[in-house]
Chain A
């Protein structure tokens, strides 16, 4: 997570608006996972976690979310 969290959150939120709504609630979901990935990166910088696997999982689960909620 960048140091000025609110600023970063605002920018991500604003950028999310121009992303295609692939299914119901996709933009909100995407916003949340980007924030979560950033937080994981901060955690990884301090603790050296298995971040690649975590990001793969997050994107995989979100992909499944699209399939499930697609109109």
Chain B
């Protein structure tokens, strides 16, 4: 199958968009940045081919119409996707290849609340005479593009990792791979044919009973029927046991993972103790920090620090005071001198202060008045005097040179720093422990281990049942062969019997041919897919096993697991041990190998295949994808295209650029003419840009001024 053209109408941001894919060259590139319609086109194409099942959450509450739909245009919004494609048809016996073109239109209406109605799907064969409608289009499409292969044909760079990533349950992962392989290799058709041929054998066996004259054939045929019924029941039981065992194995694996994860994260009880201990340490450190702050404060309040800090100012002040003292302005000597005068009977001027004389008494009264007056008026002088006498004994030079307080300050600061750092450390530790505790599931390890034990015991029980059933079936198969031989012997002896025997022989030969072919296709083709995947994968990541590369090989196991090996055949976990680019390369290699080995002419539509890649791997992935695919449609961002331009020059048959009008003015340079929010197509290829698609980042990179 080759996609030729697709037209989207009112499919989310795709108001009216037509894409035509390259049909002469393998590669078509849709260049688009994020939010520029890549995923919408991807979803739209699948919706056209597979219906609502292909939409996220199977279309439940998934709106298709544009979010900014103008309600004045009507509340029933017409939606449609129209895809033209070509398929190769063969004659019944595998000969006579012819190409036919078809057109599928899925259309309907949607209300503003996203409810879809009148959705119809129509398929037309495009002939020279016009479009010829085809009945049962869904069945036809199912045949051309089986649903189980949707993820092989339409590969979302991220979703496709479900083939290898551990986030996908093992059973689902295996089932995805198994379904893809069986369907692409056509094993489902052989399985169905085998079922029908077995029923044909039963029908011929019944015929044998109906004509028998001596009842010997009848007896054998009846016994054969019984064996067949019992075998059928046993096979049914075996199927159930196998599926139950697979389910149990998956559950046990899940529990083991939980136990491992819980052990990695730590035991909840142990964590609780750790948290309590850390809380205690944090509390103690807070107390020490508080003490250190007090100590710090005490140092700043101390006289020695004050002296040391004030020494230069004090020195200057003391100089001033000494000057005042020298000038006799301080101390205030008047009062003491006058007071001293009053003690004696003679004034310093030699006059008598004798109280017995009027003059003496009068002089005394004058001196006392002077003392009172001085006391009252000269508070400032007193203060200066006080300061002078109080400070003259200070050893200012010694104080200025005394640096002990610095050492003390340093000691306190250092201690505080250490304590703060410890406090921060413990605080972080406490937060981390609390966060860790929140992550631990409620179930404890012991409980998980008990469940594991219970499931393992059940697994053993069912495994034993399976072994018994298989042994019994083996016995019945032998019995069936014996009875069939007995029946055939009796049949040979009768004329009508020979005819039925011949028919039984044919049915048996057809069955045997189909069974052998089934086994060969499964084994041989699976090995081929595995080999091819390995080859493509190693080329993509540039690993050369002979040169001692870290990744030596990749293969698909009998259980449909994708395995990767390091030197010495050590198994790697693709999810844990491979980087993002290699994981993506492995998935793409699997998909391309499967498509190639099956020989199916199908498109590979891949959304953002080169994400997380750069340099050699990116180029090698692109080159190999082009080489291995019948039709390759890639949705690429400019970043993904970077460094791959030359490959696209040579290999791309068509490059289309898509732009989202709402990206103006933030990301687009020019204002789009379109008023609606929509995806606009232009013909620019990977190296060009036009008024429509010119982006600011490109302009800035080119160093041009932004207009």
Contact = CB atoms under 8 A, between A and B. Distances in A.
A35 B517 CA distance: 12
A4 B599 CA distance: 5
Interface in A32-68: 32-39, 41-42, 44-48, 51-52, 55-56, 59-60, 62-64, 66-67
Contacts, number: 136
Interface stretch (B70-78, B86-94, B395-403): B86-94
A4 B600 contact: yes
B499 A41 contact: no
Interface in A7-38: 7-9, 11-12, 15-16, 19-20, 22, 30, 32-38
Given A41-B192, A45-B143, A3 B510 contact: no
B521 A1 contact: no
A19 to B, nearest CB: 5
Contacts of A1: 90, 92, 94, 186, 189
B587 to A, nearest CB: 21
Nearest to A6: B94
> Which 8 A-B pairs give the minimum distances between C-beta atoms?
A2-B186, A63-B503, A4-B599, A63-B502, A5-B94, A66-B502, A9-B94, A62-B506
Interface of B: 90, 92-94, 136, 139-140, 142-143, 184-187, 189-190, 192-193, 196-197, 199-200, 203-204, 498-507, 509-510, 512-514, 516-517, 520-521, 525, 598-600
B513 A2 contact: no
A26 to B, nearest CB: 9
A42 B184 CA distance: 14
B196 A64 contact: no
Nearest to A42: B189
Interface class of chain B by DSSP: helix
A27 B200 CA distance: 20
Nearest to B520: A11
Q: Tell which of B501, B517, B520 has the most Cβ of chain A within 10 Å.
A: B517
Nearest to B139: A46
A45 B189 CA distance: 9
A37 B197 contact: yes
Contacts of A60: 204, 503
Contacts of A59: 197, 200, 204, 503, 506-507, 510
Chain A interface size, under 10 / 10 to 19 / 20 to 34 / 35 or more? 35 or more
Nearest to B88: A5
A32 B506 CA distance: 12
Given A3-B600, A41-B196, A63-B502, A36 B143 contact: no
B184 A3 contact: yes
Nearest to B518: A11
A6 B598 CA distance: 10
Contacts of A22: 502, 505, 509
Q: Tell which of A1, A2, A32, A34 has the most Cβ of chain B within 10 Å.
A: A2
B521 A51 contact: no
A2 B189 contact: yes
Contact of B502 (A9, A34, A55, A67): A67
A63 B506 contact: yes
B267 to A, nearest CB: 53
B500 to A, nearest CB: 8
Given A1-B189, A5-B94, A46-B139, 11 more contacts: A2-B185, A6-B599, A11-B517, A36-B93, A39-B93, A45-B192, A46-B143, A55-B199, A63-B499, A66-B502, A67-B499
5 contacts: A1-B94, A2-B185, A32-B93, A52-B199, A63-B503
Contacts of A4: 185-186, 598-600
A34 B189 contact: no
Given A36-B92, A52-B200, A47 B139 contact: yes
A20 B501 CA distance: 15
Given A2-B189, A33-B510, A46-B143, A8 B521 contact: yes
A15 B520 contact: yes
A11 B90 CA distance: 17
A62 B507 CA distance: 9
Contact of B513 (A7, A19, A46): A19
B93 A11 contact: no
A15 B600 CA distance: 22
Contact of A35 (B93, B501, B502): B93
A46 to B, nearest CB: 4
Contact of B187 (A2, A37, A52, A64): A2
Contacts of B196: 37, 41, 51-52, 55
A47 B502 contact: no
Nearest to B90: A5
Contact of B186 (A8, A20, A37): A8
Nearest to B521: A11
